[in-house]
């Protein structure tokens, strides 16, 4: 936990910590506790008095069918993004890890999308799938398929899932590749000598050995889908049509910023924090079991 050799100094460590602690207190701890406080109070119309109401705000939002719908959409959206981006990344990483010519080039050509903002990735997809200006969007319509993600809720959800996954593939690719490279060659060679073909080797040896990476990425991708994809949705659909692509974060933004309803948004913020804390705790519970990247 700590090194044996240390410096003796009474004041200095506090000075060194001061900036980080100040930022944490002012912009993390204080607002988070504010949110918790507000989530169990109701303010009167003038904001003069507030009354302690236990979990009333929570029961209110959780019994709101709209909010439950948002929860469902968030779950579908996050899981789809995680599974889709991981599946594609694993396929590409497994191929790029094999000893083929130009593996390094493929690697470079596959990792750069990490640099794109989710909102920018969404905009790129719009350039292609917009039913009026996008080439593929127009092509779908020309083929007789009625494509307009701005009007059709399912199409909108598909669109944001694809755009969000597209951007996340490169991140997963980097980690899968690192995980694959950490698997000892001798294990695979032993399986080869035992007579397992490449596909069988992958599913019986490689994939189980990658499971720590897979699990880690599942959590990271869920967190990504929860938080960072706000930009994707804001750029593409604004949560619409209707509420077809409204995720939890987007709804907090809508209620808190656009509709200025602080009570409801505080309870939502607290719920979000709880979900995030659960997710990161799971991640850290399993952190020791993760593969060691060389």
Smallest distance, Å, CB 208 to other proteins? Answer: 21
Q: Using the rule CB under 8 A, is 186 a contact of other proteins?
A: no
Q: Using the rule CB under 8 A, is 144 a contact of other proteins?
A: no
Taking CB under 8 A as the criterion, the residue among 14, 55, 203, 207 binding other proteins is 14
Taking CB under 8 A as the criterion, the residue among 216, 225, 244, 251 binding other proteins is 216
Length of the chain (residues): 294
DSSP state of 90: H
53: tokens are 């109401």
Q: Which of residues 110-139 bind other proteins (CB under 8 A)?
A: 110-120, 123-128, 130, 132-135, 138
Contact range with other proteins by CB under 8 A, out of 60-68, 73-81, 187-195, 262-270: 262-270
Alpha carbon distances (Å) from 155 to 83, 89, 160, 235, 263: 19, 23, 9, 15, 33
Measured in degrees and rounded to the nearest 5, phi and psi for residue 19 equal -60, -50
Taking CB under 8 A as the criterion, the residue among 166, 172, 191, 254 binding other proteins is 166
Contact range with other proteins by CB under 8 A, out of 47-55, 75-83, 184-192, 248-256: 248-256
Q: Using the rule CB under 8 A, is 235 a contact of other proteins?
A: yes
Smallest distance, Å, CB 22 to other proteins? Answer: 9
Q: For residue 97, give the nearest of 181, 188, 208 by alpha carbon.
A: 181
Smallest distance, Å, CB 62 to other proteins? Answer: 17
Contact range with other proteins by CB under 8 A, out of 52-60, 72-80, 186-194, 271-279: 271-279
Q: Using the rule CB under 8 A, is 220 a contact of other proteins?
A: yes
Nearer to other proteins, 20 or 63 (CB): 20
Nearer to other proteins, 62 or 278 (CB): 278
Contact range with other proteins by CB under 8 A, out of 11-19, 41-49, 59-67, 153-161: 11-19
How buried is 169 (Cβ within 10 angstroms: 0-12 exposed, 13-18 middle, 19+ buried)?
A: buried
Q: Which string of DSSP letters, residue by residue, matches 157-204?
A: HHHHHHHHHHHHHHHHHHHHHHHHHTS-HHHHHHHHHTT--HHHHIII
- The separation between the first and the last C-alpha atoms of the chain, rounded to the nearest angstrom, is 22
**Cβ neighbours around 71 below 10 Å, total:** 17
Taking CB under 8 A as the criterion, the residue among 28, 55, 207, 286 binding other proteins is 28
How many residues touch other proteins under the rule CB under 8 A: the total is: 100
Taking CB under 8 A as the criterion, the residue among 67, 77, 147, 230 binding other proteins is 230
Alpha carbon distances (Å) from 18 to 96, 122, 212, 220: 46, 39, 36, 30
Smallest distance, Å, CB 52 to other proteins? Answer: 18
DSSP state of 287: G
Alpha carbons 192 and 226: distance in angstroms, whole number: 41
Q: Using the rule CB under 8 A, is 74 a contact of other proteins?
A: no
Q: Using the rule CB under 8 A, is 153 a contact of other proteins?
A: no
């Amino acid at each position: 936990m700590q090194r044996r050799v240390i410096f003796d100094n009474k004041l200095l460590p506090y000075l060194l910590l001061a900036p980080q602690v100040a930022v944490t207190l002012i912009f993390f701890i204080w607002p988070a506790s504010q949110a918790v406080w507000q989530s169990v109070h109701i303010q009167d119309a003038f904001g003069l008095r507030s009354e302690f109401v236990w979990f009333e705000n929570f029961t209110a939002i959780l019994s709101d069918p709209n909010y439950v719908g948002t929860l469902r959409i968030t779950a579908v959206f996050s899981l789809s993004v995680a599974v889709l981006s991981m599946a594609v990344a694993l396929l590409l990483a497994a191929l790029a890890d094999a000893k083929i010519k130009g593996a390094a080039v493929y690697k470079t050509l596959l990792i750069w999308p990490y640099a794109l903002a989710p909102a920018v990735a969404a905009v790129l997809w719009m350039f292609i799938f917009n039913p009026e200006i996008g080439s593929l969007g127009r092509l779908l319509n020309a083929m007789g398929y009625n494509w307009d993600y701005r009007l059709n809720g399912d199409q909108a959800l598909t669109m944001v899932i694809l755009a969000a996954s597209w951007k996340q593939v490169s991140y997963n690719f980097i980690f899968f590749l690192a995980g694959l490279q950490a698997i000892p060659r001798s294990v695979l060679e032993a399986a080869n000598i035992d007579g397992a073909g490449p596909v069988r080797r992958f599913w019986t040896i490689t994939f189980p050995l990658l499971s720590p990476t897979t699990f880690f990425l599942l959590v990271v991708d869920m967190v990504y889908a929860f938080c960072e994809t706000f930009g994707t949705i804001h750029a593409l659909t604004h949560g619409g049509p209707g509420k077809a692509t409204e995720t939890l974060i987007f709804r907090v933004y809508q209620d808190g910023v656009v509709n200025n309803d602080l009570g409801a948004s505080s309870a939502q913020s607290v719920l979000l924090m709880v979900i995030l804390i659960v997710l990161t705790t799971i991640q850290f519970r399993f952190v020791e079991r993760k593969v060691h990247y060389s």
